[in-house]
Amino acid sequence: MKNTSKILFALLLSFPILVHAQEKKDSSSYLNGMLKIVTNENKDGKSVKKMELSTPSKKKKRKPVETDWGGFNLGFNNYTDKTDYTNTSVSDPNSIGSFALFTKKAAQENDFELKSGKSINVNFGIVRQQVSLYKNYVSFIYGLCYDINNWSYKKSIHWTSIDQTNASLSALSPNNKGYAITMDSVNYTKNKLVTNYLQVPLLLRFETSPNHNSRNVCLSIGGYAGYLVRSHTKQIIEGSKQKEKQFNDFNLNKFQYGMQAELEYKQFAIYFKNSLTPLTSYGTEQYPYCFGVRLTN
């Protein structure tokens, strides 16, 4: 009775939209098959729309190729720091051998410490297809998604390109080219780097009961590849409301690849991704990872 009441309530809210959308269709299903809008012609040749309620079958026949439009991931990101800070090209404030942190002291691992609760991963699914390899018990998944990582720093580090900074930094690079991270003297209420990658997931999916959604548990494992399409920094000085943004590709890796896993039940999943390429092209060796929840269609 409770389910019937919920269905009727949903119908009252959505009926005008559903009727309008079906002007050129004979029959369509909504609410996972529980609602059907059927169009028939009466004796006068006029179209008559009729709503039909039905109980969906517990066993659903699956297609060999299934497409999921949309999908949304939300989680947290961090990185495993494997940087050798004894290497002068990284730690010496007077060196620009590769990628230096310019401070009054040598760079340390804690200079890059993140605010874990504010370092967020957001992933928007564009399209994902699942191709059955064996009766939907085993499938291959590929697709396209847009992945955003927010790297929120605790300290006042500042990403910059050397040709945009002062002469003292430019003098350390003979060609006036390259990238550096400086340590600012002011405190920031917000100090983050944002990376945007277009990603392609490649996964093998295993399902326990593909034709029974109520007891089907899915495990997907594999990898992903991505390309950097946009990156910027965002800073707000403590005591100020003015935002300062700088758009640049800095020293970030243009291409990335890594491992990925998802554990799913119905339309809810938990995911974990671990990059096998460092965040930057040279100098620091920080390998990103993220985890969170995934909602699918």
- Residues 28 and 144 both lie in one domain: no
- Residues 150 and 243 both lie in one domain: yes
- Residues 153 and 15 both lie in one domain: no
CA 60 vs CA 53, 209, 213, 280: distances in Å: 17, 10, 8, 47
- Residues 82 and 190 both lie in one domain: yes
Q: Is residue 60 part of a domain?
A: no
What is the Cα–Cα distance from 280 to 248, expressed in whole angstroms? 13
Q: Is residue 42 part of a domain?
A: yes
- Residues 204 and 89 both lie in one domain: yes
What pTM, to 2 d.p., does this model score?
0.73
Nearest 5°: the CA angle 36, 42, 46 is 90
pLDDT tens digit string along 123-159? 999 999 999 999 999 999 999 999 999 999 999 988 8
- Residues 133 and 224 both lie in one domain: yes
Contacts of 49 (CB under 8 A, 6+ apart): 19, 22, 37, 38, 39
Q: State the DSSP code for 31.
A: T
Q: Is residue 285 part of a domain?
A: yes
- Residues 133 and 227 both lie in one domain: yes
Find the mean pLDDT for residues 110-123. 92
Q: Is residue 58 part of a domain?
A: no
The pLDDT > 70 percentage for the chain reads 70
- Residues 27 and 138 both lie in one domain: no
- Residues 112 and 152 both lie in one domain: yes
- Residues 176 and 273 both lie in one domain: yes
Least confident of 85-89, 235-239, 250-254, 257-261: 85-89
Name 132's bridge partners: 139
Q: Is residue 178 part of a domain?
A: yes
Burial class (CB in 10 A: 0-12, 13-18, 19+), 256: buried
- Residues 278 and 161 both lie in one domain: yes
pLDDT tens digit string along 200-227? 999 999 999 998 888 999 999 999 999 9
Q: What is the pLDDT of residue 197?
A: 98
71 torsion bin: left (phi>0), alpha (psi -120 to 50), beta (else): left
Q: How many domains are contained in the chain? A: 2
**For the stretch 182-214, what's the b/e string if a residue is b when 16 or more beta carbons lie within 10 angstroms of its beta carbon?**
bbeeeebeebbbbbbbebebebebebeebeebe
Question: Can you give the residue range of the structural domain that contains 223?
Answer: 65-295
Q: What is the pLDDT of residue 101?
A: 53
- Residues 13 and 135 both lie in one domain: no
Phi–psi pair at 15, nearest 5 degrees = -60, -45
What is the Cα–Cα distance from 162 to 144, expressed in whole angstroms? 34
Q: Is residue 227 part of a domain?
A: yes
Q: Is residue 59 part of a domain?
A: no
